[in-house]
Structure 1
Amino acid sequence: MPSSAILPFTEANTRRVASLFRQAMRTAFDHALKFEVYRNATLDIRAQFEANRHVSDPEQLERLIQKTEAKLAHWKHPDPYIPPSRPGGTKYQRNIPSPKEPIVPGNW
């Protein structure tokens, strides 16, 4: 068994798989222009994860996780969706407070 393998059905493994699932959902959202397309993609992704839900062999589990990570890297969108108010979004720090000191020095 490889030293980096995580035993199945542990909290660490659950978090790792849940993280991959969330990444897959976000990647599907980045590629979908219509809700119907996104919904179908989410159903396919969910079916793929559910098909491997009861894998208990640590080596097979590690191979599945590596395969999923490679697939996510391959499908990573070059311009992912960023919510407007998040850092990097279009509204991030749009209405910052104006400074208290005069902008142009001098006595006008």
Structure 2
Amino acid sequence: MSSVSAAAYLARRAAQKERVRILYRRALKDTLNWAVHRHLFYQDASNLRERFDANKDVEDIGTIDRLIADGEASYNKWWHPDPYIVPWAPGGTKFTRNPTPPSGIEIIYNYGREDND
């Protein structure tokens, strides 16, 4: 194997590993949206891990690409339509509830004390 083809092979394998890692994390986080209770999530997370571990010894690049494409298609089919968003995160219910005042407005914190000048 020449150094160019070895480098291309290693680069493709690294890209595949990254896609698998991203897919697993997205699927695991989405599992939290479907599980109502924590004990249900643990079982679902264990089943998800078993599905990924079943194919961890596959070495053929074409088969790996097909498995990743199938996994991404399955994820896109079953993702949660109303995911949980932390309230203060972008898209959450408290996000920018109290936005910063526009520039030019000065807030004076005198707490009801009046100036007797």
TM-score, normalised with respect to structure 2: 0.73
How many equivalent residue pairs?
97
Amino acid across the alignment from 1:25: L
Distance in 1 separating the partners of 2:9 and 2:52:
17
Calculate percent identity across the aligned residue pairs.
36
Pick closer, same or farther for the CA change 1:60–1:7 going to 2, 3 Å: farther
Equivalent residue, structure 1, for 2:62: 59
Distance in 1 separating the partners of 2:81 and 2:17:
28
Q: Where do 5+ consecutive residues of structure 2 fail to align? A: 1-7, 107-117
Equivalent residue, structure 1, for 2:83: 80
Distance in 2 separating the partners of 1:34 and 1:93:
29
| Residue 7 of structure 1: how far off its partner (Å) | 5.0
Question: 2:16–2:65: 8 Å Cα contact kept in structure 1?
Answer: no
Q: Which has the higher helix share?
A: 2
Amino acid across the alignment from 1:88: G
Q: Work out which of the two has the higher radius of gyration on C-alpha atoms and give 1 or 2.
A: 2
Which of structures 1 and 2 has the larger relative contact order (alpha carbons within 8 angstroms, sep 6+)?
1
Q: Secondary structure at the match of 1:77?
A: coil
Pairing 1:29–2:32 present: yes
Q: Where do 5+ consecutive residues of structure 1 fail to align? A: 1-5, 102-108
Distance in 2 separating the partners of 1:59 and 1:15:
16
Pairing 1:15–2:10 present: no
Q: Could you report, residue by residue, the CA deviation over 1:14-55 in whole angstroms, capped at 9, with x for unpaired residues?
A: 111000001111221111111111111111111111111111
Amino acid across the alignment from 1:48: R
